[in-house]
């Protein structure tokens, strides 16, 4: 019976369809694997090269992955900012930007995500499990008696922004978040990177391809994660940084900014640049970026809480 069906036109059609589905799934899976397994970047510089006083620290994510980071020392009992790099980068991408923050008195933890830099682990989950890395970093900082255990900030780019936001929802100590190139969910991120450069007319392809995202990530991803998380964080202060050079970044940033209520318990800010992400900034954009980061944390995560903050120099929409 089965053999007769397979020899029929309908059977041939089913077999052809199965081959196409398996082939398409394999192709999409291969592309996702390449995206989520970037080459590890070795640190080209160390804190000491910039005369920063720092310790190499080791700690665990909350799901047990061994992680590495640099703890750059600022003022005793001052708040700490956790710096979370993008996919395929490492902690060293933040070193130049860390100098003015350290001089302002902040303690800084530059971590390597799992599968990156000096940390253990293989590959990336694009933020789903990296949030456990950020949670582990926060829990590690809470054990340090020389740091403020109740006031922390997060500065994340791309992957780091996504993981940092999810982690902040579970830790009240995080009161200020600077989020650069935050994507709304993993499916949206994959649509951008897997089909970058394709004309709009081919958008249907991304719809078909997204069917395979769930199985690849063992059904651990869902749509609209950031939009679902932001309402839990109306008591935190935000700086969204968006880039016109990244497809959909400006629209996404504006939507996320608008989704937070006005006049709530905290504040929100939006900075629009031609480019974002530390590795691609030059001249005027780099200056604006640095001033915005320093102004944001100087306003909402003051080194000395009893001192009046300076006015924040961020473009607010």
SS3 state at 180: strand
Query: Which pLDDT score, from 0 to 100, does residue 229 have?
Result: 94
Query: Which pLDDT score, from 0 to 100, does residue 316 have?
Result: 44
Retrieve residue 313's tokens. Answer: 């120099």
Summarised one tens digit per residue, pLDDT across range 89-103 is 999 999 999 999 999
Summarised one tens digit per residue, pLDDT across range 187-245 is 999 988 887 765 555 555 566 777 888 888 877 888 889 999 999 999 999 999 998 77
Q: What percent of the chain has pLDDT over 70?
A: 83
Q: How far is CA 11 from CA 20, 23, 24, 220, in A?
A: 14, 18, 20, 34
Which of 42, 45, 26 shows the shortest CA–CA distance to 34? Answer: 26
∠ CA 304-307-311, nearest 5°, is: 110
Mean of the per-residue pLDDT values for the chain?
86
pTM of the model as a whole: 0.88
Which of 140, 85, 116, 18 shows the shortest CA–CA distance to 278? Answer: 85
Summarised one tens digit per residue, pLDDT across range 6-45 is 556 666 666 665 665 566 666 777 889 999 999 998 888 9
Architecture of domain 53-185+224-300: 3-Layer(aba) Sandwich (3.40)
Which of 14, 36, 20, 10 shows the shortest CA–CA distance to 211? Answer: 20
Query: Which pLDDT score, from 0 to 100, does residue 216 have?
Result: 81
Rounded Cα distance between 7 and 265, Å, is: 68
User: 67-103 as b/e, with b when 16 or more CB fall inside 10 Å?
Assistant: bbbbbbbbbeebbbbbbbbbbbbbbbbbbebbbebbe
Retrieve residue 149's tokens. Answer: 């255990």
């Amino acid at each position: 019976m089965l053999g007769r069906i397979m020899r029929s036109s309908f059977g041939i059609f089913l077999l052809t369809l199965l081959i196409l589905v398996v082939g398409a799934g394999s192709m999409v899976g291969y592309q996702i694997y390449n995206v989520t397994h970037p080459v590890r970047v070795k640190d080209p510089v160390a804190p000491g090269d910039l005369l920063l006083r720092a310790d190499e620290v080791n700690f665990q994510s909350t799901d047990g992955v061994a992680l590495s980071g640099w703890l750059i020392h600022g003022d005793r009992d001052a708040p700490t900012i956790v710096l979370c790099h993008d996919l395929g980068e490492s902690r060293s991408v933040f070193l130049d930007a860390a100098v003015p923050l350290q001089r302002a008195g902040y303690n800084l933890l530059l971590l390597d995500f799992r599968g990156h830099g000096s940390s253990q682990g293989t590959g990336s989950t694009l933020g789903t499990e990296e949030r456990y890395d950020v949670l582990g970093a926060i829990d590690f900082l809470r054990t340090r008696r020389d740091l403020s255990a109740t006031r922390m900030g997060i500065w994340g780019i791309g992957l780091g922004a996504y993981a940092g936001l999810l982690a902040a929802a579970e830790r009240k100590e995080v009161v200020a978040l600077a989020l650069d190139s935050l994507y709304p969910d993993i499916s949206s991120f994959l649509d951008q990177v897997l089909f970058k450069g394709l004309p709009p007319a081919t958008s249907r392809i991304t719809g078909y391809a997204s069917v395979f995202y769930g199985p690849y990530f063992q059904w651990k991803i869902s749509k609209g994660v950031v939009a679902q998380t932001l309402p839990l964080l109306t008591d935190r202060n935000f700086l969204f940084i968006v880039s016109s050079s990244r497809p959909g970044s400006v629209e996404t940033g504006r939507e996320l900014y608008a989704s937070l209520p006005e006049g709530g318990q905290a504040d929100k800010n939006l900075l629009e640049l031609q480019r974002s992400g530390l590795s691609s900034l030059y001249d005027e954009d780099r200056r604006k970026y640095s001033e915005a980061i320093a102004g944001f944390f100087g306003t909402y995560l003051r080194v000395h809480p009893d001192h009046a903050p300076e006015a924040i120099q961020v473009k607010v929409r």
